[in-house]
Amino acid sequence: MTRREQRNNIFRILFKVEFNSIDEMDEQIGYSMDSLTGINDSDRAYIVDKTKKIIEIITDLDDIISSVSSGWNIDRIGKAELTILRLGIYEMKYDEEVPYKVAINEAVELAKKYCSEDAKSFVNALLAKVEKQA
């Protein structure tokens, strides 16, 4: 499984945070992993580990989003866009294996796949602001 495929699966699990409580997420992660076929143990461990790490600091990630989204209350941001931003910011700030440019590009690619046409520009702009703060 490529990193892009892993990231896509992490996004799909993280999206469930919007519809489930944090306490329910271990169960949701399990359901999601059970539905993936042909996944090896290494990929499974990477997806579960990274997803759990993001969920643990979701409040911090939301604070960062709020600090760069002037004029946009976090509640106004679409659920898919918010999930993509959380994943992108996590990769930029907390995952040393992912260069900033890669994190931003991959977030934009997720926005192209899961969001409206305007979302890719929105995601790109907010993540660029996060990069400038670093």
The string of pLDDT tens digits covering residues 70-126 is 877 899 999 999 999 999 999 999 999 999 999 999 999 999 999 999 999 999 999
- Cα dihedral 27, 88, 86, 26 in deg (nearest 10): 10
* CATH number of the CATH domain containing 54: 1.10.940.10
pLDDT, residue 85, reads 98
Tens-digit pLDDT profile for residues 45-61: 999 999 999 999 999 99
Decide if pLDDT at 134 tops 80. no
pLDDT of residue 133: 84
Range of the domain at 9: 3-133
Rounded Cα–Cα distance for residues 118 and 120 (Å)? 6
pLDDT given at position 38: 87
Question: What's the domain count of the chain?
Answer: 1
